[in-house]
Amino acid sequence: MSNHPVIIAGPCVIESAEVLCQVAEELVRINSKYGTDIIFKASFDKANRTSIHSYRGPGMERGLQMLADIKNKYHLRILTDIHESYQAKPVSEVADVLQIPAFLCRQTDLLVAAAKTGRTVNIKKAQFLSGDDMQYPVQKVRESGNDQVWLTERGNIYGYNNLAVDFRNIVDMKKYASTVIMDCTHSVQRPGAAGGKTGGNREFIPSMALAAKAFGANGYFFEVHPDPESALSDGPNMLYLNDLEAVVASIL
């Protein structure tokens, strides 16, 4: 397993136990077939939705219980986001990896709180920062006593309602973290371009993964859903669950 890249996959937000289980079962099947160790991802709260009317999730208490159920039933490692410092400790009791959202990657108190849990901290690069800029969030985590830090590329702001990926950022970030992940789904977003919610172009997801591999990425992040068209968050840029295996096979 040590020769395989880090792979993170799961629905954008916790919608129901049924969706979580459906995704988890597929991850277990892929892990068994390819010898991978895919980390299960889902958010208990999407605090940065475009509209106040958008679905955010079940909240921390209920969401953590649902993630714990997945962990215990399917023996998968768990990754989830935190948005505020007070969330770090209780979330770390369930999650193996604490993820810092891109817009919050410079929030010192959040980074320090995550670091002090001793869990792996995955910091997503802000859409307004370069790869080299990410040395400073890494420094905040390490100087708080935690060397387990990953960085994730997810594209940069390119005009209005669009993102572009500069794959040189992967090379730059590997100077500061040994694990650099390509977020293959958020990088194809069209932020705020769908009338109060985010649009996207999921057809580019497989190419994003292969391009990132060429630039030396050793981790991949995929948001997946059994039926993205009916997903409650990020549907247009999520991969169909049935298509995940082919993409995983291509990068292996």
pLDDT in tens, 159-170: 888 889 999 999
- Confirm if 245 and 252 have CB atoms less than 8 A apart: no
On average, the pLDDT of the chain sits at 93
Distance (Å, rounded) from C-alpha 44 to C-alpha 56? 8
pLDDT digits (tens, 9 = 90+) for 93-142: 999 999 999 999 999 999 999 999 999 999 999 999 999 999 999 999 99
What pLDDT, on the 0 to 100 scale, is given for residue 188? 85
Q: What does the block give as tokens for 75?
A: 């023996």
Q: Specify if 124 maps to a domain.
A: yes
Residue 65 lies in a domain: yes
Q: Give the global pTM.
A: 0.93
* For residues 145-174, average pLDDT: 94
Domain that holds residue 141: 6-251
Q: Is residue 26 part of a domain?
A: yes
Per-residue buried b or exposed e for 70-89, using 16+ beta carbons within 10 Å of the residue's own CB: bbeebebebbbbbbebebbe
Residue 132 DSSP symbol: G
In-domain check, residue 162: yes
Task: For residue 62, give the H/E element and its range.
Answer: helix 60-74
Token readout for 79 is 């990754």
- The answer to whether position 1 is within a domain reads no
CATH number (domain holding residue 234): 3.20.20.70
Per-position DSSP letters for 207-251, written without gaps between them: HHHHHHHHTT--EEEEEEES-GGG-SSSGGGPEEGGGHHHHHHHH
The yes-or-no verdict on residue 197 having pLDDT over 70 is no
Q: Residue 147 falls within a domain, yes or no?
A: yes
Domain presence at residue 199: yes
**pLDDT score recorded for residue 202:** 82
Condensed to tens digits (0 to 9), the pLDDT of residues 76-85 reads 999 999 999 9
The DSSP bridge pattern shows strands 39-41 and 149-153 to be unpaired
Percent pLDDT > 90 in the chain is: 79
Domains in the chain, number: 1
Model confidence at 234, pLDDT cuts 50, 70, 90, reads confident
Q: Is 194 a residue whose pLDDT tops 60?
A: no
Q: How confident is the model at residue 48 (pLDDT cuts 50, 70, 90)?
A: confident
- Looking at per-residue pLDDT, the higher value among 232 and 40 belongs to 40
Q: Are the CB atoms for 142 and 123 separated by under 8 Å?
A: no
